[in-house]
Amino acid sequence: MSRSAVPRTREGSRWTERLFRIAMLVKGVDGAAELLGAIALMLVSGPWLHHLVAQVLARDLVGPPDGTFARHLVASADRFAAGDRTFAVVYLGLHGLIKIGLVWALLRKWRPAYPPAVLILGLFVVYELVHAWHTRSVVLPVLALLDIAIIVLVVREYRLLGREQAG
């Protein structure tokens, strides 16, 4: 059967399935990177982090050294070097582990995992936005937007699985 002869709804579900798998791959890699990041943050010293930030700023990798993003980077490094690691380590570690678990369950199409996945990702979005508001973080709202996009894909995939099982 040629691609053009495939019914539109079936083609739409194939596209959604591909997009869902790509999103899950990205989320899984992101989860693994967060978990590795949490481990690395536990091992990094304050002076080494200051050195790294200085190198990044010296090479203009984040824009002008006196720009908004650079100021946020320096302030974050200062807080981290002063011992404020708990949030970053716990957030990255838990977020990474939960993402990896959810990705595993969703890729196996374990339907009972979909509603908790939406709930958990929704809680992460709320937490990311509240924490961003209090800390004036630039990164957390971006992560929240990515999580919202993933929620939309998870809900869509859940509905498609429901239709497949019903029909």
Inform me whether the pLDDT recorded for 133 exceeds 70.
yes
Q: For residue range 62-106, what is the model confidence (pLDDT) as tens digits? A: 666 677 777 777 777 777 777 667 777 888 898 899 889 989 998
CB atoms within 10 A of CB 130: 12
What is the length of the chain?
Answer: 167
Portion of the chain with pLDDT greater than 90, in percent: 23
Position 106 in a domain: yes
The tally of domains found in the chain comes to 1
Position 1 in a domain: no
The Cα 58–Cα 50 span in angstroms is 12
Position 148 in a domain: yes
Portion of the chain with pLDDT greater than 70, in percent: 85
Band the pLDDT of 3: cuts 50, 70, 90: very low
Report pTM. 0.64
- The residue range of the domain holding 75 is 14-162
Position 108 in a domain: yes
Position 9 in a domain: no
- Residue 126: what pLDDT? 94
Q: Provide the Cα torsion 143, 145, 127, 156; round to 10°.
A: -120
Position 5 in a domain: no
- Residue 7: what pLDDT? 45
Inform me whether the pLDDT recorded for 12 exceeds 70.
no
> In 3D, which of 88, 111, 102 has the Cα closest to residue 27?
102
Sequence-distant contacts of 105-113: CB under 8 A, at least 24 apart? 106/24, 106/154, 106/157, 107/21, 107/24, 107/28, 109/161, 111/158, 111/161, 111/162, 111/165
